[in-house]
Amino acid sequence: MPGRAEGGNEVRITSIWNLPVTPHPQLRRDLLMNAGGRRQAQPYMRTGFCDKENTVLHRYLAKVSRKLGATPSQLQLRNRAQARVEGTLSGPGLLVAGEAWPGVLTEPAQVLVAKGAEIEMRDTFYLHHGGTIGVQAGARLSLGSGYASPRVWISCGLSIEIGDGVAIADQTIIRDWDGHDIEGRPDRKPIQIGNHVWIGMRCIILKGVTIGDGAVIGAGSVVTRDVPPGMLATGNPATVRRPIIWR
């Protein structure tokens, strides 16, 4: 099954235990022939092909593909973006890392998914250049549609859900964990960001926060409490100011 291609490079998608990977094009046929597979060599394998008979073949192909820098089908890298995916990418959507506005100089974006972690793509989400998405072991990040502007940092230690039509401005930090244990206080709580939310430049969204549909977070705000749907919140700590009506 042909996959997405970037910059003229061939991309073929093979699903291995629900984790799509891109086998190295030069070794694809050799892998299929030499991994102990019982089927005839093919240029590429059918998506979703993971019957019990070929367990060894699939594990071998997945392992070698990762070592050769395989790119999951739900992840597209642009402008020197880098990814280390040891966990799972799921869902029907696409994460585009390294997006850039026309005419700007770029710096690499990063996508880091630890073993046992998951990113779910429900739609197309753009991580602009210089941005970082990091998901720790056992954590889950769920992305709808929208974008994160340059140098945004999304750090997921438990659970972060971002809705559809979300705009996250430059240098914003979204982090659901503290990184340090303090007695009598949990160090991580889930974050939920609703649909059609606009988060202004250099905001900080901290653990345990829910931002309702249609809300706007003013530039430089530090969000430590929930923001109701359709409201403007600004300041440090962020305070709900007034209703917002979208045109």
Neighbour count for residue 36 (Cβ, 10 Å): 10
**Residue 74 CB-half CA count within 13 A:** 25
Question: Which residue among 58, 128, 129, 180 is the active-site one?
Answer: 180
Contacts (Cβ under 8 Å, ≥6 apart) of 27: 64, 68
Neighbour count for residue 115 (Cβ, 10 Å): 11
CA dihedral sign, ordered 33, 35, 40, 45: negative
Element (H, E) at 177: none
Element (H, E) at 119: strand 118-121
180 labelled catalytic: yes
Contacts (Cβ under 8 Å, ≥6 apart) of 213: 163, 194, 195, 196, 197, 229, 230
Q: Which residues are catalytic?
A: 180
